Each structure stands twice: as structure tokens, then as C-alpha cells.
Amino acid sequence: MAEGIEIEVNLPFSEHDEMPFRLGDIVLDKKFGDLHPSLKPVDQIRHEWKFQFRLMRAEWGQPHFLTMLTGVLAFLLGSVSTEIFGGGDPKLTGIDGFSAIGGFAFFQLVVSSVLWIWFFVQLSVNFPIMRGHIINVMIIWGSIFISQVVLHVSSPGFPIGASLGDALGGVILAAVGCFFTYFFWKAVTETRDLHVMEHHVHTDVRVMEEAMAEHSLFSWTIMVCSWVLLIALNGWSGAHFIADRVAEDYAVYAIHLISGVALIYVLMHMLWFPQRMLGEGTRVQTRAAAAADADLLVDGVILVSEGECRSCKASAPISQNEVGETMVDCASKDCNSRGPAGNNCEGCSEKYPTRYTCSNCGVNSPVIDYIPDSEAW
């Protein structure tokens, strides 16, 4: 009978080493999968969320909670107002409507706007690798929320009494939000795949599978979908309460307030976890964007990435990354990883070579000599 094989996950980064625990250390006391195999995805979600919430409790500090408090205050100041309860003047529209707003309500509006701006600024500060996707988040939030407002213009009781023609504008806005959500999800998942292939490479495929399992984004994907549904629920409840002024339903208004507060937390959670998984030095982008950047590097628009021999001008598999490190292939024939010259390979523990022999003319030189001196255009 074959003995069990113990697989050790290679986690070289200091950020991984400093983690108080990993996903594999989390154990569920009870599993729904024991009742029926179809419930195993539920156990996976519970397992990953248990890990994330425990890690969050251990690592979230004052900056995170102050940011969340800022977002909650911005939402509540804009959602709880005497103007909302008073009903307003339906005859005033556009800029003329500002003249009907009371002094204190107008002050709330200004403070809420300032806090919203500060909230998104703090998101970019606390989650720097997601900074490039903050605009995507704003587009998703705005388009899905406004779609509910548009859907209620012709049908105050939406979805009751709605027609397909009147709902076209709202459907288009919702589709835009879903498209940007998919783009955001795709960027994070493909960056995760690249992260595992580059930094957790190993000759044993079982180790690679274990590393991929440790970097699972299954429950995170569920959280992204939940965030989008919360936006739709929040927008629908707010627009529904405002649109139907004959029969004010304060239960719907309560849903609007509760879902709005939940939105702030879920947004911060789904921005925080990819950063904690990938590290602050990662650039979150899709494979297509990474390939486009690579093409620019090769063409010399940004910098020349492919090395060449100074004697015969033959190309060499040597490049330079964004921080100036010289990247070379691992010296081991059984390993296909790349890394900075002189460092130890994370896959096979071999040291990356500091010298390279040109395959064309046979000249052996330090790898740095293979980096062209041409300037970026």
C-alpha cells in the first residue's frame, strides 16, 4: 500500500511568512458536504470566509475602521434628511431644485459629498494595488444605482407596472455595471494566476495545485456578486421609497439604510483581500493588459526588455524589470522559472546565474552586460 505523500507549499514572500495562519490551517467543525455532495461548495465558501474574517480581525487596524466610518457617515448624511421625509416639490427639477433645499439639508449634502471623496481617497491609500480599479468601482456603483432610478421614472412601483420599452435605459446602465464588474473580477483572478505561476512555481504539479488552492478566490467571487446585488437592492429601495410618495413604505427605507451600510463594508473587504493575497508590490491587470505592456517593452516604447550580446548583437533571454533587476532563466533544466540574477530560485532552490554565455558567438559575460543602453522613447 502506497504511503501518503506530504506536500509542502512554497510561500517565499515575507508577507506570506508573517501571516499568523493560512487557509489550510482553518478547519470546519461541521460540514454540509457530509449530508450531501452537492453542498460541498457551501463548505468551501464557509471555509474561505472563516479564514478571511479571522485574518481580518487579526490585521485590520485604525486606518481601515476610520475609512469604513467615513463611508458610513457619507452614506447616512446623504440618505437621512428632512427633505426626504418632507417629500420635496415635484414641480421643481434640475438646478432649480437646489433652491428648495433647506439650509441644514444643504449642509448635509455638502458634507456628504466631501466625505464620499475622502472615502475613495482613503480606499486608494489603504489598498494601493487596487488603486487603478477605484474608478471601475465608482462606475459599477454609479451605473447600477442610477439604473434603478431610471427604472422608477416611468414605473414608480417598479417592477410592478413596468414595460420593456420604459426599462431599456435602466437595463443598459445595469449591463454597463455588470461589464465593468466582470472586467474587475477578471483582472484580479488573472493576476492571482500569474502570481502563483511566477512566485510559487515548483517542479511538482501537486505543489502548484496546493498553492493555487491556498490562493482560492471562490468565496471572494461570491462576495463580488453579493456586492453588485447589494447595489441593486440599495438603489431599488431608495428609488422606490422616493418614487412612491402616496404610500410611504418605511420598511423599504430601512432596507435602503441597512444595505447601504453593508455596501461600504463589503467593498472594503473585496478590495482588501486581493491585496493581502498578492502583496503591495503587485500590479492588478488582465493578461491582455499585461501582454500589451510586454509588447511595449519589447518594442522599446517604455524600455527594451530583451537582452542582446554586445559582441554579435544576438538576442539573449535576459530582461530588466520595472525596478531595475536583471531577470534571467533558472539554471536548472527541470525548472522554467525566471528571477533576479544572483537570487535563489523559489522552485528548485538553485541560484539564478549572474553570467551568461552567448549561444551565437560563445562570449561569456555578466548578465547586466546584455541589457542594451538604448533609452526609452
The rounded distance, in Å, linking the Cα atoms of 4 and 10 is 19
The rounded distance, in Å, linking the Cα atoms of 218 and 194 is 17
Tell me: do 297 and 234 sit in the same domain: no
Question: According to the model, what pLDDT value does residue 228 have?
Answer: 95
Which three three-digit cell numbers place residue 294? 510586454
Least confident of 8-12, 183-187, 326-330: 8-12
Contact of 225 with 234, CB cutoff 8 Å: no
Tell me: do 115 and 159 sit in the same domain: yes
- Structural domain includes residue 171: yes
- Which H or E element spans position 357? strand 355-357
- Structural domain includes residue 57: yes
Tell me: do 351 and 250 sit in the same domain: no
- Structural domain includes residue 6: no
Tell me: do 232 and 266 sit in the same domain: yes
Tell me: do 271 and 331 sit in the same domain: no
- Structural domain includes residue 8: no
Please report which confidence band the pLDDT of residue 39 belongs to, taking 50, 70 and 90 as the band edges: confident
* Residue 18 main-chain phi, psi, to 5 deg: -85, -5
Tell me: do 190 and 309 sit in the same domain: no
Tell me: do 41 and 106 sit in the same domain: yes
Q: Shortest CA distance to 30 belongs to which of 46, 17, 12?
A: 46
Question: According to the model, what pLDDT value does residue 177 have?
Answer: 93
Domain boundary among 278, 311, 331: 278
Question: Looking at residues 253-258, what average pLDDT do you find?
Answer: 91
Tell me: do 292 and 194 sit in the same domain: no
Question: According to the model, what pLDDT value does residue 298 have?
Answer: 45
Least confident of 163-167, 254-258, 267-271: 163-167
What does the mean pLDDT of the chain come to? 78
Q: Shortest CA distance to 279 belongs to which of 215, 343, 205?
A: 215
Tell me: do 131 and 272 sit in the same domain: yes
**DSSP notation for 152-187:** HHH-TTTTTT--TTTTHHHHHHHHHHHHHHHHHHHH
Which residue range forms the structural domain that includes residue 363?
287-370
- Structural domain includes residue 4: no
Structural domain count of the chain: 2
Q: Write out pLDDT tens, residues 201-253.
A: 666 677 777 777 788 888 999 999 999 999 999 998 888 888 766 666 788 88
Q: Shortest CA distance to 195 belongs to which of 10, 60, 20, 47?
A: 10
- Structural domain includes residue 7: no
- Structural domain includes residue 377: no
Contact of 138 with 114, CB cutoff 8 Å: no
Which three three-digit cell numbers place residue 98? 437646489
Contact of 283 with 275, CB cutoff 8 Å: no
CA distances from 123 to 248, 272, 363 (A): 35, 9, 51
**DSSP notation for 211-261:** HHHHT--HHHHHHHHHHHHHHHHHHHHHHHHHH--SS--HHHHHHHHHHHH
Tell me: do 159 and 59 sit in the same domain: yes
* 3-class secondary-structure state, position 294: helix
Tell me: do 221 and 313 sit in the same domain: no
Q: Write out pLDDT tens, residues 157-195.
A: 677 766 776 778 888 999 999 999 999 999 898 888 887
Question: According to the model, what pLDDT value does residue 213 have?
Answer: 78
- Structural domain includes residue 99: yes
The rounded distance, in Å, linking the Cα atoms of 263 and 233 is 10
Please report which confidence band the pLDDT of residue 97 belongs to, taking 50, 70 and 90 as the band edges: low
Tell me: do 171 and 107 sit in the same domain: yes
Question: According to the model, what pLDDT value does residue 40 have?
Answer: 85
Omega of the bond prior to 159 within 30 degrees of 0, cis? yes
Scored b (16 or more CB within 10 A) or e, 299-338 reads eeeebbbbbbbeeeeeebebbbeeeeebbbbbeeeebebb
Assess whether pLDDT exceeds 80 at residue 293: no
